[in-house]
Amino acid sequence: MSTIDNKAVLSFTDGTPSLEMPVYKGTIGPDVIDIRALYNKTGKFTYDPGFLSTAACNSTITYIDGDKGELLYRGYPIEQLAVNCDFLEVAHLLWNGELPNQAQKNEFVNHVTRHTMVHEQMSRFFQGFRRDAHPMAVMVGTVGALSAFYHDSLDISDAHHREVSAIRLIAKLPTLVAMTYKYTIGQPFVYPRNDLSYAGNFMHMMFSNPCEAYKVNDVLVRAMDRIFILHADHEQNASTSTVRLSGSSGANPFACIAAGIACLWGPAHGGANEACLNMLEELQANGGEAKLGEFIAKVKDKNSGVKLMGFGHRVYKNYDPRAKLMRETCHEVLEVLGLQNDPLFKLAMALEKVALEDDYFVSRKLYPNVDYYSGIVQRAIGIPVPLFTAIFALARTVGWIAQWNEMISDTEQKIGRPRQLYKGAALRTVLPIGKR
């Protein structure tokens, strides 16, 4: 725990004695007030729906400065990692705390590639799903099912078991996402190729078939890898908190990651990239740029229920740094594919410009987030829209499992158990059914 820097004093108007509480300083970022003694000393809880002012844990993994628009993994800015590292180096960083040197990288890559295949019986799980099932439904089921196959690494008190489970998850998620896609389109599953890079192998499993190999395009593989890096971790967001909360009960890591995937599915979280592309396509079909004013008016009308998907963030009150990098990747990918005039990209840029000049968005500090451009990149690469969130889950698995491991190793960790402000009926008596 960080050192105590100063104290906070909480006083009450109802006669409860005031309470002095320690304040801790992190390396960077806001100080935190330690309220753990509050209930014992005063009989009162804090009230913070949505955790707007609550730090639920200590962490050394990821730091976000929402006002500056800064994102650091283990202290390194995302802009530097995205340019200088590949995804498995970033995974090593998130899991181990340090970027690997060449020998460490070789060893890590070797570990991951040795685990890329899934148990052959896993393929039978897919047969149980309808072909039109949403990929995230299939992912929740199949990732949860991994716990039934890898009993030899489920002792969460054993650091080696935790590492083997982490490597398995990092290695097998691309295989499961690709199997999910192949099942949907009725093609045979494609086995992993361990001579390819992490992103290259994923694209091979996605796009090759027994009749035709996937011709690796370096720019597209690099774009896929960048999508993975940008989505790898994001501090204590809803799905990461879900993984931590699930893990706090001692549940196994595969089950915890399945819980994270379920949470990520929501349109306010990982589902936003899919929702954003659907929004752009609908807008395009209904008149495109000519109708932007009408659309923005609808977004601003609170009764319309329409949001500008891919805009806004709980933490970023400035341009999401990942969105900047994604916009850059978008340019590169569309250029290499000869799609510079892609109407959806043009529409997205026009919509962004209109929004960034509109007082509604300016006054609320609403900027594009990572999901705004990632859908256009993925669509250009050939990834079908419903698979976008599954790819987010693939990448975020690295962050989830690192956060899970940090929580299990934390001596202050307890089972997560929030309390509530109860507003239901007070004590009452059950009447016999004839008298109700």
Using CB under 6 A, count the residues that bind ligand CMC.
19
AA letter at 10: L
> Which of residues 161, 314, 317, 346 is near ligand CMC by CB under 6 A?
314
86 touches ligand CMC by CB under 6 A: no
> Which of residues 244, 313, 327, 379 is near ligand CMC by CB under 6 A?
313
> Which of residues 138, 283, 366, 394 is near ligand CMC by CB under 6 A?
366
Terminal CA-CA length for the chain: 55
299 touches ligand CMC by CB under 6 A: yes
Let me know: does 202 contact 381? Beta carbons within 8 Å: no
346 touches ligand CMC by CB under 6 A: no
Residues 394-403 as b/e (b if ≥16 CB within 10 A, e otherwise) read: bbbbbbbbbb
309 touches ligand CMC by CB under 6 A: yes
Q: Where does residue 104 rank: exposed (0-12), middle (13-18), buried (19+ CB within 10 A)?
A: middle
68 touches ligand CMC by CB under 6 A: no
> Which of residues 90, 179, 370, 394 is near ligand CMC by CB under 6 A?
370
* Among 35-43, 141-149, 280-288, 306-314, the segment contacting ligand CMC (CB under 6 A): 306-314
d(CA 59, CA 55): 10
* Among 64-72, 202-210, 364-372, 410-418, the segment contacting ligand CMC (CB under 6 A): 364-372
311 touches ligand CMC by CB under 6 A: yes
397 touches ligand CMC by CB under 6 A: no
Question: The tokens of 379 are what?
Answer: 């669509």
Closest CA to 244 of 46, 415, 396: 415
Question: Least Å distance between CB 89 and ligand CMC?
Answer: 23
307 touches ligand CMC by CB under 6 A: yes
* Among 70-78, 142-150, 263-271, 424-432, the segment contacting ligand CMC (CB under 6 A): 263-271
Active site residue 313: yes
* Among 92-100, 248-256, 284-292, 301-309, the segment contacting ligand CMC (CB under 6 A): 301-309
For the chain, what is the radius of gyration of the CA atoms? 24
369 touches ligand CMC by CB under 6 A: yes
364 touches ligand CMC by CB under 6 A: yes
d(CA 167, CA 172): 8
> Which of residues 312, 321, 375, 399 is near ligand CMC by CB under 6 A?
312
d(CA 158, CA 308): 45
269 touches ligand CMC by CB under 6 A: yes
Let me know: does 71 contact 64? Beta carbons within 8 Å: yes
Question: Least Å distance between CB 303 and ligand CMC?
Answer: 12
69 touches ligand CMC by CB under 6 A: no
Q: Binding marks (x or -) toward ligand CMC, 235..254, rule CB under 6 A? A: --x-----------------
Let me know: does 325 contact 371? Beta carbons within 8 Å: no
> Which of residues 148, 268, 297, 350 is near ligand CMC by CB under 6 A?
268
Interacting residues with ligand CMC between 193 and 212 (CB under 6 A): none
* Among 20-28, 101-109, 112-120, 367-375, the segment contacting ligand CMC (CB under 6 A): 367-375
Which one of the listed residues 115, 134, 234, 313 is annotated catalytic? 313
d(CA 39, CA 399): 32
111 touches ligand CMC by CB under 6 A: no
Question: Least Å distance between CB 231 and ligand CMC?
Answer: 8
367 touches ligand CMC by CB under 6 A: no
Let me know: does 152 contact 158? Beta carbons within 8 Å: no
Interacting residues with ligand CMC between 113 and 172 (CB under 6 A): none
Point out the residues that are catalytic.
Answer: 313, 371
- Binding residues for ligand CMC, rule: CB under 6 A, are 237, 268-270, 272, 299, 307-314, 364, 366, 369-371
